[in-house]
Amino acid sequence: MTPKLMTVVLNWRTPEMTLKAARAAAAAMTGLDGEIVIVDNASGDGSEEALRAGSATGDWPVPVRVVQSGHNGGFGAGNNVGIRAGRADGAAPDYVYILNSDAFPAPDAIRTLMAHLEAHPEAGFAGSYIHGPEGEAHVTAFRFPSLLSEFEGAARTGPVSRLLRRHSMPLGVPEETRSVDWLAGASMMMRRRVLDEIGLFDEAFFLYFEETDLCRRAARAGHQVHYVRESRVAHIGSVSTGMKGWRRVPDYWFASRWHYFSKTHGRAYAAAATLAHLAGGALHRLRQAIRRRPPADPPGFLRTLAAHDLRRLTGRPTDAQRAARPHPAE
């Protein structure tokens, strides 16, 4: 029996690029029993109308439709809307494939992921080799975060990284297909029965750490996550989030990080992870001061991290929570 596939592409104010990504996915799905759902994540800028017009041209090789999330709950929540929407034909998909709106699969990329999962029942999720527009490899395969990975990643110091190389979160770019702890969600295929077992994305994450959490839950349920080197996807990166140009890390990154550690390991471990990061960050700043160079992270990052997580630990509201409170009527 031919496996049934559903692809979800999430849009946030990039309708032209989203349609380009969806068309690349549609071309890569030719000959498969697949459908595409494009989710507009409450863009409010005319994206939905542009997406509906672009998807109604009649020249798509697979069925494609647009749904509206109605609320921008972030990456995980938006993808959940698409997954819950299901296929238009009512058939339950065997596989769900999520694709970033700025990612473009090679003609065989999606078929390769599906074939890999068909051949490896121990794998619940499979992700692609991601590269930039000019062919440069992106690091998208990781170990789960830990106290030592927090210290190593913040220290950014050669001797520390060499000493803790087995604990560093990034795995580099694997040269061959292999099992990993978690994958970035730019191009990831998931067994629907695994999602039925462990649940969809945790919508408490607005952005960042949601894939980490989902892969962690899959691992705890006994399912592997595989990095499939033969599946190639071009990815621009940070188009919707603007991460490459951040001068200040947004509050939702700190909130997602705290939620991941406290949910996975408990509040005491989350606090210890923050202390490990602060210690590594202090070492990095000392080294940079000696070299007369600025720190690698944005100004005030460690101070903001400490203040945010102290408020979370003590139960006091964060800046974002304060801003979300309704203003009293005047």
Yes or no: say if 208 and 253 are a contact pair by the CB < 8 Å rule: yes
Percent of the chain scored above 90 by pLDDT?
Answer: 91
In this structure, are strands 103-105 and 224-235 parallel, antiparallel, or unpaired? Answer: antiparallel
Mean pLDDT, residues 7-15: 97
pLDDT digit string, tens, across residues 228-260:
999 999 999 754 444 555 578 999 999 999 999
Yes or no: say if 77 and 59 are a contact pair by the CB < 8 Å rule: no
- Calculate the average pLDDT of the chain: 93
Question: What is the structure's pLDDT at 248?
Answer: 86
Question: What is the structure's pLDDT at 325?
Answer: 38
Q: Domain ranges in the chain?
A: 4-138+173-244, 246-323
pTM: 0.93
Question: What is the structure's pLDDT at 52?
Answer: 98
Question: What is the structure's pLDDT at 245?
Answer: 52
pLDDT digit string, tens, across residues 65-99:
999 999 999 999 999 999 999 999 999 999 999 99
Mean pLDDT, residues 135-152: 97
Query: What CA–CA distance (Å, rounded) separates 62 from 35?
Result: 6
Residue 294 confidence (pLDDT) above 80:
yes
Residue 50 confidence (pLDDT) above 50:
yes
Classify domain 4-138+173-244 at the CATH topology level.
Spore Coat Polysaccharide Biosynthesis Protein SpsA; Chain A (3.90.550)
Residue 324 confidence (pLDDT) above 50:
no
DSSP assignments along 303-328, one per residue:
HHHHHHHHHHHHTPPPHHHHHHSPPP
Mean pLDDT, residues 149-172: 97
Mean pLDDT, residues 275-302: 96
